[in-house]
Structure 1
Amino acid sequence: MIGRRTALALPALLPGLAAAQVAWPQRPVRLIVPYAAGGGTDILARALGEALRPHLPFPIVVENRAGAAGVIGSEVVARSEPDGHTLMAVVSTHVMNRHVLSSLPYDPIRDFAPIAMLTRNTMVLAASNALPFTDLPSLAAFARAQPTRLSTGSTEALSSFIGQELARRLGAEIPDVQYRAGSQLMTDIVAGNLPMGWTSTASATPHMSSGRVRILAVSTATRTPFFPEVKTAQEQGIPDFDLAGWVALLGPARLPGTLAGVIHGHVERAFADQAFQARLTALGIEPDLRPPAACLEAMQREDRLWAAASAAGTLPKQ
C-alpha cells in the first residue's frame, strides 16, 4: 500500500523536479525596454536587474529599444528564441496598441509568454508650479477661459487617453503633446516648456525636489501612497474616473511554462527582499507581483476593455 501511494504521488512531484533541473540563465539575459531611457519602466527594469544580479550566474542587461509606441522593441522580443535569454519589461499599452495603431507586426497576447505582472502604475497629473491653478476645478475654469494656453503631455496611448478623457469630462479643449519617455515629459514641465502631463509616479518622483512641479490629481479611485495628500480625480468631482497602468515581464511565445516559472521564482525572490522593497518605495513604484497565469488574465481582460472603448470611438488613434 505504501509503495502504491508513493507511485501515485510521483506525477504530482514531476513539475517541481523539472523546474529544479532548469538551469537559467546560461549567459547574460537581454531585458528589452521598448521605451527611452529614464522613464518609469526603464527605472524599474534596471532596479530589478540589480536586485537579481547577486542570485544569478550571469547579469541582466537592460537594453532600450524605443520607438513606435513600444512596437520596435516588442518586435525584437517576439522574434527572439524562446530560451529565456531575451525578455521584455512592457507597460499596459502593449495590449492597448492593438486598438490604437493602424497595424502591428505581432499579436500583443498570442506572440508573447507572460512571466510576471510586476507593478501597478498609478498615473499622476504633474503640472508646472508657475500655473495659476492647484486642482482640477480651477484647471477646468482656466482651460475654458483661455483655451489656447494649455496642453497636456503623454508618453503612450494610455496616458494620452487619460489626458483626453479628463479634458472631455472637464468640458475643455486641451491638446495632447506626445513624448517618448516620462523623463523627457517631466524635464519639460520643470523647465516650463510644457504646462502639464500625465505620467507614472516613478517618472514624477525624481523631479518633485525641484520645487517647480506640483501634482494635481491621480488617475485611480484611491490615492497613491507616494503622494497621499493629492486627491483623486473622483474626489475632485470626476465620477467613476479610475484608470491605471502596469508593467509586466514577458518573453517570446513558446517560452516553456516551466522556464517561465523558474524566472518568475527568481523575480519573486527579488521582490521579497526588504532592500529591494525599500528601493521601489524610494523610486515611487507600486509593486503588484502576480504569476504568469494572473498576468495573462489581466492582459486578456484589458484587451476586452480597450476593444469596447475602440468600438465606442473613445480611444486615441495614432
Structure 2
Amino acid sequence: MNRRSLILGLPLLATPALVQAQPAWPTRPVRVIVPYPPGGGTDVLARAVVEAMRPHLAHPIVVENRAGANGAIGSEVISRADGDGTTLGIVTSTHTLNKYAMGNLTYDPIRDFTPVALMSRQILVMVSGTSQPFDSLAGMLAAARARPGSIAFGQTEAVTRFAGTEFARLAGVQMQDVYYRGGGLLMNDIVAGHLPTGWTSTASAIPHLQSGRVRVLCVSTATRTSLMPDVPTAQEAGVAGYDISGWVGMFGPKSMAPELAARIQAAVATAYADPTLVQRFVTLGLEPDLRPPAAFATFLEADDRRWAEAVAAGRIERSN
C-alpha cells in the first residue's frame, strides 16, 4: 500500500462543476457518532479519518462514542438526527446484519439512512494469547477436538459472533462465544490470558502484537492479507469454505440530500489523500476502500442479500 496506489483507487468527485454544484458543508460543528466503545478498530479508524479531515473544514468535527446493543443505540441516534450534515455515523457491517441477528430494531438499516461513503474493508483475525497451550490454528483445533466446548472465543458484535460460530461450524468443533462490549476490552483479556481465543479486526489486534503476548492464528478471508503476510488463512488449516470479511462505512440520516452526501464524501476523499493518514492506515492495519454514495448503496444491497441468505440457510440465529 502506498499513497499513489491509494489515490488511484479513490473514486474522487472533485471536478470543478460538481464542486460548485454541491452545498456548503459544514456550516456548523459536526459530530461523528461511532456506535461502539472507544479503543476498538472502528473507533480507531473513525478518529484517524476525522483528524485528517479537520484541517480542511471550516467548523470543528468530533467523534462521539454511543455504544450499546451491538451498535443499535448509536445507529438509532443517527437515524433520528437532522439531515443537515451535522450528525454523521461510522458503522461496521454489523449495521446491516443487526436486522437479522436482533429482533427489535427501531429503524431499518437500509431505508432509514443515507449512504455517504464506504471507507474500509475489514479483515477479521482469530487471536490468542501466548500463554495459551497452543501456538497455531492447527494446535487450537486439536485442543478443541480433544475437549469439546473447552475453548471459547470472544466476540464484540453480530459480525464477529458470526465469524466465530461459522468457523466452529465449518471446522466441526464446539466453541462457546463470550460477548465483549468492544475490541479493546476483548484484546485486554487476550493479552492477560483470560480468554483463549477471540475474533476481532486487524486494527484492534495489531497494536498488541508488539507486546509479544498476542498471536494471530488466522485471517478470516480466503487469501492472506498484505497486512499480515505470514499469517495463514483458516482454509490453509483445513477449514474449507471459510471466507468472511466486513466493512466500515459512513452514513447520514435518511433526510440527508444526495448532493450533501456527495459533498461530505468528497471531504473524506481529500482526507484519504493525506500522506499522514495513508501511513496511519498501514500502521493500524487498515485496508482503505473508499467509494461514493451510489456505489456504497449498491454495495449495501448486496450485503443485505448476503445476510438474508445466511439466515435462510440457518447460519444465523437471533440474539433476542
Normalising by the smaller structure, the TM-score range is: over 0.9
- Structure 2 Cα separation of the partners of residues 238 and 100 of structure 1: 24
Give secondary structure in 1 for the equivalent of 2:210: helix
- Structure 2 Cα separation of the partners of residues 123 and 31 of structure 1: 24
1:5 corresponds in structure 2 to none
1:263 corresponds in structure 2 to 264
- Larger Rg: 1 or 2? 1
Amino acid at match of 1:47: A
1:52 corresponds in structure 2 to 53
Tell me, which stretches of 5 or more residues in structure 1 are unaligned? 1-12
1:314 aligns with 2:315: yes
**From 15, 20, 23, the counterpart of 1:17:** 20
1:168 corresponds in structure 2 to 169
What is the number of residues matched between the two proteins? 305
Runs of 4+ in structure 1 deviating by more than 4 angstroms, as ranges, are 13-16
- Structure 1 Cα separation of the partners of residues 238 and 61 of structure 2: 45
Task: Give, in angstroms, the shift of residue 239 of structure 1.
Answer: 2.0
The TM-score normalised by the length of structure 1 is: 0.93
Amino acid at match of 1:128: G
Give secondary structure in 1 for the equivalent of 2:123: strand
What is the CA deviation profile of residues 189-226 of structure 1, one whole-angstrom value per residue up to 9, with x for unaligned ones? 00111111000000001111111110000001121222
Task: Give, in angstroms, the shift of residue 111 of structure 1.
Answer: 0.4
Amino acid at match of 2:318: K
- Structure 2 Cα separation of the partners of residues 317 and 24 of structure 1: 40
2:224 corresponds in structure 1 to 223
1:34 aligns with 2:35: yes
Give secondary structure in 2 for the equivalent of 1:248: strand
- Structure 1 Cα separation of the partners of residues 150 and 107 of structure 2: 39
* Cα contact 1:161–1:316 (8 A) shared by 2: no
- Structure 1 Cα separation of the partners of residues 150 and 270 of structure 2: 49
Give secondary structure in 1 for the equivalent of 2:125: strand
The TM-score normalised by the length of structure 2 is: 0.92
1:137 corresponds in structure 2 to 138
Give secondary structure in 2 for the equivalent of 1:269: helix
2:83 corresponds in structure 1 to 82
1:303 corresponds in structure 2 to 304
- Structure 2 Cα separation of the partners of residues 120 and 148 of structure 1: 31
* Cα contact 1:15–1:258 (8 A) shared by 2: no
* Cα contact 1:140–1:171 (8 A) shared by 2: no
Task: Give, in angstroms, the shift of residue 48 of structure 1.
Answer: 0.8
Task: Give, in angstroms, the shift of residue 16 of structure 1.
Answer: 5.0
Task: Give, in angstroms, the shift of residue 180 of structure 1.
Answer: 1.1
CA RMSD of aligned residues (A): 1.4
Task: Give, in angstroms, the shift of residue 183 of structure 1.
Answer: 0.6
1:10 corresponds in structure 2 to none
Tell me, which stretches of 5 or more residues in structure 2 are unaligned? 1-15
Give secondary structure in 2 for the equivalent of 1:235: helix
- Structure 1 Cα separation of the partners of residues 194 and 240 of structure 2: 31
Give secondary structure in 2 for the equivalent of 1:227: coil
Task: Give, in angstroms, the shift of residue 15 of structure 1.
Answer: 5.4
1:206 corresponds in structure 2 to 207
Sequence identity percentage: 53
- Structure 2 Cα separation of the partners of residues 241 and 213 of structure 1: 23
Bigger drift between 191-200 and 141-150 goes to: 141-150
Task: Give, in angstroms, the shift of residue 56 of structure 1.
Answer: 0.5
1:69 corresponds in structure 2 to 70
